[in-house]
Amino acid sequence: MSGIVLRNIRKSFGPTTALHDVSLSIVNGEFLTLLGPSGCGKSTLLRILAGLEVQDAGSVAIGDRVVDGLRPKRRDVAMVFQSYALYPHMTVAENIALPLRMRRLNAWQRAPLVGRWLPGTGMARRAIDMEVGGTAEALGIAHLLDRKPGQLSGGQRQRVALGRAMVRHPAVFLMDEPLSNLDAKLRVHMRAEIKELHRRLGVTFVYVTHDQAEAMTLSDRVVVMLDGEVLQVAQPQKIYSDPDDRRVAEFVGSPKINMFDAIMRERGQVDVAGTALSVPSELTLGTELTVAIRPEAFQLAGHAGPGVLTGLVRMVEHMGSDLFVYLDVAGVEHPVIARLSAERAPEIVTGQTLHVGVRPDHVLLFDREGR
């Protein structure tokens, strides 16, 4: 099967434009994540792909079929929601079996119309039980099949929701923030399980999150979205280390990347906050730029000099293996954040003067338009 192609998708809700003109190709079998802040349009795009929302313009092809106008269940996709969407009065087994039972029911209902049983459309009850049992086994919830959702933990509920998607054996899994109701520890655990599930099933996963860590760890490629537009589509490492747009650089990475207004001083050197930084660029003299430096690109330096920023320590956050040091640097509006190894940094205290060197290969340059 070929992948998924979204072409020139537009969607508005009254005066709000949720998607401007989004085009995207998803490779068959890949794990693709839509990443962006709240309201950027990622859920709307996923729901259009699922057939739960209708686009104003543009088309969606899944595999070799254009699916515009096809109802969700005819698209060969399964959606897993943040809310799990389980039926509280049904047992775990009944919840997981539901898509298969619906299929069986549909087949029976249609049978009289054509005067015979439609082969391949419904499953025998015993086959359904076996499928449910096998899926629950794979998800480690076989011992919970008789319980109701209200008697389960968040992680167990999420597994039931996954199970209900899995029994359909869809060509595409669509997941909308499936882990956001779980506590931090369980989220990391389930993240690994989802990754393993993708590896085992080998089908396409399209995943929506605003959590960078999820996007970075799970995905083959990440789509960074903002204000109804796609800013960049690339592998996680490229999104982080070689962003196309300053808005991507600012959204990805924690603590946030440091941005400085700068001027090209001479070949391969920019002037940042009164110091000369070496950069891998041949731009002409006097060009105005934005220089972006990730917090971990700084390292402690013994004294001021070229390639070194000097500032007063405003605050230190101890993060275990790392320190986040906030520096007030003359001529720079916002505090500069440096992420230093706690092992190598001596005791750094508020109010002291600190020199931090910049590793030239870690400096990113954007023009004043942010590209």
Please identify which residue in 4, 6, 9, 18 interacts with ligand ATP, judged by CB under 6 A: 18
Does the protein bind ligand ATP through residue 39 (CB under 6 A)? yes
Which residue's beta carbon is nearest to the bound ligand ATP? Answer: 43
**Interaction with ligand ATP in 160-219: which residues (CB under 6 A)?**
210
Q: Looking at 33-41, 65-73, 268-276, 321-329, which segment touches ligand ATP (CB under 6 A)?
A: 33-41
**79 vs 230: CA distance, rounded Å:** 22
Please identify which residue in 6, 40, 165, 270 interacts with ligand ATP, judged by CB under 6 A: 40
Nearer to ligand ATP by C-beta: 135 or 232?
Answer: 232
Q: Looking at 10-18, 116-124, 150-158, 216-224, which segment touches ligand ATP (CB under 6 A)?
A: 10-18
Alpha helix positions (H), the chain: 42-50, 92-114, 125-139, 154-166, 184-201, 212-218, 236-241, 246-251
Residues 6+ apart with CB under 8 A from 134: none
Please identify which residue in 9, 35, 41, 173 interacts with ligand ATP, judged by CB under 6 A: 41
Long-range contact set of residues 326-333: C-beta below 8 Å, sequence gap at least 24? 327/354, 327/356, 329/273, 330/273, 330/274, 331/273, 331/274, 332/260, 332/273
Minimum CB separation from ligand ATP for residue 18, in Å? 3
Please identify which residue in 6, 9, 22, 42 interacts with ligand ATP, judged by CB under 6 A: 42
Contact by Cβ (8 Å): 92, 153: no
Q: Looking at 13-21, 57-65, 94-102, 268-276, which segment touches ligand ATP (CB under 6 A)?
A: 13-21
β-strand partners of 158: none
| Amino acid (1-letter code) at residue 207 | Y
Does the protein bind ligand ATP through residue 15 (CB under 6 A)? no
Minimum CB separation from ligand ATP for residue 56, in Å? 12
Contact by Cβ (8 Å): 2, 28: yes
**207 vs 359: CA distance, rounded Å:** 34
Q: Looking at 35-43, 103-111, 252-260, 266-274, which segment touches ligand ATP (CB under 6 A)?
A: 35-43
Contact by Cβ (8 Å): 172, 204: yes
Does the protein bind ligand ATP through residue 284 (CB under 6 A)? no
Does the protein bind ligand ATP through residue 155 (CB under 6 A)? no
Please identify which residue in 8, 13, 267, 342 interacts with ligand ATP, judged by CB under 6 A: 13
Q: Rounded to the nearest 10 degrees, what angle do helices 154-166 and 92-114 cross at?
A: 20
Count of chain residues binding ligand ATP (CB under 6 A): 12
Please identify which residue in 36, 163, 170, 243 interacts with ligand ATP, judged by CB under 6 A: 36
Sole residue written with tokens 């300053």: 246
Secondary structure element (H or E) that encloses residue 78, with its range = strand 77-80
Query: For binding to ligand ATP (CB under 6 A), which residues are involved?
Result: 13, 16, 18, 36, 38-44, 210
